[in-house]
Amino acid sequence: MSDLRFRPPADDDTLKDWQYVHNVIIPTRPLSLDEVRERARRDHLEVAYLDGALVGCSTVRPPTDESRAATVIVRVLVAYRRRGFGEELYVRGLHRARELGAEVIETVVLSSNEDGLRFALRHGFVETERYLLPGDTIPWIDLRLFPKP
C-alpha cells in the first residue's frame, strides 16, 4: 500500500485540484469551477495526493432508483500511472458505490484515453455503448462491470 492520501474536495483548493485532473484527462469537456461545485453536491468526489503532489481524482455517481447503477470514474495524471494509484482510487470508488446501494457498476471513458480504457477492460468492464456528444469529435465509451467468473 502506498502513502496515497485522499480528500473530498471541500474547499476551493481541492475543488481546483479535482478540476485540474478532470480537465487534463478530459480536454474535450473542460469543467468550470462552478460546474465542479455542482458535481460535488450530487456526486461523491475524491482527490488523491502523494506526499502533497496531486496524483488523480475520482467520481462516484450514486445509483438511481430506476437502474440501481452507480458510475465509478477514476482519473490519474500520466506521471503517476502504472504505480497502483488508479487501483487504490478504483477500489475506494467501488466500495463507496456499493455503500450507496449500487447493484450495477458502470464507468465512462473518453476513447482517446487508451490507458483508462485498458484499465477498465482489465478490471472486468465491458463496452456497452460508444457515442459522440453534440459538438464532440472523440467518442465516449460506456462500460459495465461484469465480474470475472
pLDDT tens digits, residue range 71-129? 999 999 999 999 999 999 999 999 999 999 999 999 999 999 999 999 999 999 999 99
Beta bridge partners of 64: none
Buried b (16+ CB within 10 A) or exposed e, 94-127: bebbeeeebeebbbbbbeebeebbebbeebebee
Average of pLDDT values for 126-141? 94
Residue from 43, 145, 149, 148 nearest 104 by CA: 145
| Chain centre to alpha carbon of residue 94 | 11
What pLDDT was estimated at residue 12?
Answer: 95
Residue ranges per domain, the chain? Answer: 4-145
What pLDDT was estimated at residue 147?
Answer: 66
Average of pLDDT values for 39-43? 96
pLDDT, tens digit, 9 for 90 and up, residues 42-65: 999 999 999 999 999 999 999 988
What pLDDT was estimated at residue 136?
Answer: 87
pTM over 0.95: no
**How far apart, in whole angstroms, are the C-alpha atoms of residue 72 and residue 60?**
5
> Given a cut of 60, is residue 67 above it in pLDDT?
yes
Q: Hey, what CATH class is 4-145 in?
A: alpha beta
Residue 66 pLDDT level (bands cut at 50, 70, 90):
confident
